[in-house]
Amino acid sequence: MRQWRRVFHFIISTSFVFVLAPRESLAVILCNNLTGTPPPNVGYPQVYSDFRYIAGAGGGDDKIKTKKGGFNFLGFDPVNTHDVIVTIYDTVTELQLFSVNMFSGTGTYWQQPNVKTFKYRDPLSIFGVKKALIKRSIFTPNSHVLRNIVGKNVAYTNVPFPNLNGKTFVLELVDNSGVGICIGTDMPYCTTTTNRQRCSP
């Protein structure tokens, strides 16, 4: 079932937060990996997407990178409990461009080197993602920031897409019973240059 929500953009100054009027277009946030039909949290701010390729988009040598973005999830634990699933798709056509599940549990690539840092490293890039970094605030335990996700040898599908369409970014944090949260936002401003496409909020 589709979850339709308007996307808000935020401008943060030194001491005030202004909420702008929603854009006319609607972002479709697809929470496909959670049980039931939970409403998504929309607005995941400041997510940037950047992918490069040599053999051509979808040629198997795409290098995806996303960065920034925050979420609140008390008890979040990708090392033992929560799969981290990232999906990116064309906002207009809803065709999936990329999806990866960075699984939790014993024997996976997640580690927690200190109380506020979760690191994902897969030197063989089996799932198309080489590394990821999530940090949480030591002052607000349920506040987290996705610092980056870096992949290589990725095979983007349905690309290159029209710049005017933009991308939609979805982050799902799911335990083994299918319970968790779904966060999404759109990246409507995209540019294409030689062997590279970038999108921003």
- pLDDT tens by residue, the chain, 201 residues: 333 332 222 222 222 222 222 333 456 678 888 887 666 676 555 788 888 877 767 666 778 888 887 888 888 999 999 999 999 889 999 888 888 899 998 777 899 999 899 999 987 766 678 899 999 987 887 888 888 888 877 777 887 788 999 998 899 999 999 999 988 888 899 998 888 889 998
Tokens matching residue 173: 């944090």
HSE-up (13 A, CA, CB side) for residue 184: 29
Q: Does domain 27-200 have CATH number 1.10.3470?
A: no
Give the strands of the sheet with 83-90, arranged side by side: 41-42, 180-187, 167-174, 83-90, 96-102
Query: Rounded to an integer, what distance in angstroms lies between the CA atom of residue 79 and that of residue 85?
Result: 14
pLDDT on residue 24: 38
- How are beta strands 180-187 and 41-42 bridged, if at all? parallel
pLDDT at 157: 82
pLDDT of amino acid 56: 67
